[in-house]
A = this chain, B = another copy of it.
């Protein structure tokens, strides 16, 4: 099984390192680094098409300005299209720079979200029912789980 990792030079944290640390050695990894999030969708496309990846993680960081939010939306919309064309998952791991207030918190957020999603990536490769035990349990990536509703 081959896992693609697309990441950016815009990000202030080397998110790919966190992903790679959680992926067992039995998986092949193909990495593709681009300038920013808007360059990620075609990188994902190429990782599937030319490099025969079975799933791709798209790692990006998004600024705090309105224009940055729109860039993120454009990237995400195109990432949706790639998934539908390839019939394969892209696990999008986007960190917004205004989710937290300090560099330290930004690093921790990027690490937590990327690592948890690396584990999701492995689960999805096992098949459509691997995550059923966790359905509706309020899982979160980047922060603590919210958990299921309390009745």
Residues of A within 8 A of B (CB): 7-17, 30-35, 38-39, 41-43, 45-47, 49-51, 66-67, 69-78, 80-85, 87-92, 96, 103-104, 106-107, 117, 120, 124, 128-132, 134-141, 146-151
Contacts and interface: CB of A to CB of B under 8 A. Distances in A.
- 3 A-B pairs closest in CB distance: A14-B136, A78-B80, A12-B138
A134 B7 CA distance: 10
7 contacts: A10-B140, A35-B139, A35-B141, A41-B84, A73-B74, A77-B78, A78-B83
Contact of A67 (B67, B96, B134, B146): B96
A32 B76 contact: no
Given A70-B69, A104-B151, A149-B107, A89 B14 contact: no
B76 A139 contact: no
Contacts of A32: 128-129
Contacts of A9: 131, 134-137, 139
B8 A135 contact: yes
A51 to B, nearest CB: 8
Among A33, A51, A124, A139, chain B packs the most CB atoms within 10 A around the CB of A33
A69 B76 CA distance: 13
Nearest to A94: B67
Contacts of A75: 80
